Amino acid sequence: MNASPEYNMKMGGKYHIKIQNKFLNFFQDVELHSQTFLEQFDIQSLKILCCENVEPSLINSSITQLDIQMCDIESIDGLQLENLLELNLQQNKLTQIQSIKKFINLQKMTISDNQLINLSGIETLKLLKFLNLSYCQIKDISILKNMSCLQELDVSRNRGIDLQPLQFMTQLTKLNLSYLSNILNTTQNLDLSVLEQLINLEDLDISNNTGVNTSWLKYLVKLVILNIESNELQNTNFLEYLLNLEEINLSSNKNTDLQPLSKIIKLKKLNLSDNKLLNVQFLSTLINLEHLNLENNLDIDITPLQNLEKLTYLNVQSVTFIVFLIYNF
């Protein structure tokens, strides 16, 4: 069956689901069996028209993963999947998710790129570990503060979001707050100091938040991955405290001196492109560095890099060298 949904099943008797591919503009009648037990159902980019003769109990106990992104869905009220563990609702037309409260076993959910205004209903998902709310219209995330199992959260690109409730979410290990200040429609800089309470964070993305104060970062000593691209950093002293970092993106910050990096010897991947570096002597101590991007800087003497024996990738495009070394990668 061309362009059909992907599914894993055990075969048996029959029912029908009619679907329309909204990009190719054709209809199909998918026949499944009355003893079918779906475990995964992927119908992204398809418009569900109707189901005929479906016995809900046949699929309630079987589907654990459902991907219905880009299906023009306006409501999830009809879904009856009590054992669902993973749900992808990305890029639909949802304005509310009140009926999500039925899915009490849900552990991973993506609702990005919808028209959500509030998160009412989500508070019952006590087992939720991963939540992506990017590209929505969420302003209030206080409903999330009592979800103690939540470990990974993405609220990037949400206009005017109140970040204060984050201080209560100390169990978070991964957080994406990128592209917030650029859509706030305000002259005030984004205040991220509330994040100093999140001492268990290991992966943090606050990129593209112009002029944000970063002094509070020194408290997040468990960080392994940090993205602060395009923030116009004025001070990088906080780096002296982040000795567990293995990957950091400092690109597009117009920095001329990044000496504090010299102490982070666990670093494996480093992006310093589009800065104004004149000297990279501070990199000579980073003996575990494997991936380095120095693209679009000024005149650089890269002699200090010659002892970085683990370096396997080096990008020096658009750099005018004072000294040029030949590497045998």
101: exposed, middle or buried (Cβ count in 10 Å: 0-12, 13-18, 19+) = middle
**Cα–Cα distance for residue pair 78/111, rounded to 1 Å:** 17
Residues 6+ apart with CB under 8 A from 123: 101, 143, 146, 147
H-state helical runs in the chain: 56-60
CB contact at 8 A, 58 and 34 = yes
> Given a cut of 50, is residue 7 above it in pLDDT?
no
52 occurs within a structural domain:
yes
**Cα–Cα distance for residue pair 51/118, rounded to 1 Å:** 29
23 occurs within a structural domain:
yes
Pairs from 48-54 (Cβ < 8 Å, separation ≥ 24): 48/17, 48/18, 48/19, 48/73, 49/18, 49/19, 49/20, 50/17, 50/18, 51/15, 51/16, 51/17, 51/18, 52/15, 52/16, 52/17, 52/18, 53/14, 53/15, 53/16, 54/15, 54/17
List pLDDT tens digits, range 199-208.
999 999 999 9
H-state helical runs in 18-144: 56-60
**Cα–Cα distance for residue pair 171/159, rounded to 1 Å:** 25
Q: Which of 263, 252, 265, 261 has its CA nearest to residue 279? A: 261
Phi-psi region of 70 (alpha: psi -120 to 50; beta: other; left: phi over 0): left
6 occurs within a structural domain:
yes
List pLDDT tens digits, range 110-163.
999 999 989 999 999 999 999 999 999 999 999 999 999 999 999 999 988 999
22 occurs within a structural domain:
yes
Confidence of residue 184 (pLDDT cuts 50, 70, 90): very low
CB contact at 8 A, 148 and 171 = yes
> Given a cut of 50, is residue 80 above it in pLDDT?
yes
53 occurs within a structural domain:
yes
**Cα–Cα distance for residue pair 188/184, rounded to 1 Å:** 9
List pLDDT tens digits, range 283-299.
999 999 999 999 998 77
What was the pLDDT predicted at 19? 47
209: exposed, middle or buried (Cβ count in 10 Å: 0-12, 13-18, 19+) = buried
What was the pLDDT predicted at 234? 82
> Given a cut of 90, is residue 107 above it in pLDDT?
yes
> Given a cut of 60, is residue 24 above it in pLDDT?
no
29 occurs within a structural domain:
yes
Provide DSSP, 305-324: GGG-TT--EEE-TT--EEE-
H-state helical runs in 1-106: 56-60
**Cα–Cα distance for residue pair 312/329, rounded to 1 Å:** 6
> Given a cut of 80, is residue 328 above it in pLDDT?
no
Mean of the per-residue pLDDT values of the chain: 83
**Cα–Cα distance for residue pair 274/28, rounded to 1 Å:** 50
251 occurs within a structural domain:
no
> How many residues are present in the chain?
329
CB contact at 8 A, 265 and 246 = no
**Cα–Cα distance for residue pair 182/252, rounded to 1 Å:** 15
Q: Strand order in 46-52's β-sheet?
A: 26-32, 15-21, 46-52
15 occurs within a structural domain:
yes
pTM greater than the 0.75 cutoff: yes
**3-class state of residue 269 by DSSP:** strand
Supply the range of the domain harboring residue 56: 1-63
**3-class state of residue 33 by DSSP:** coil
Rg (CA), the chain: 24
What's the domain count of the chain?
1
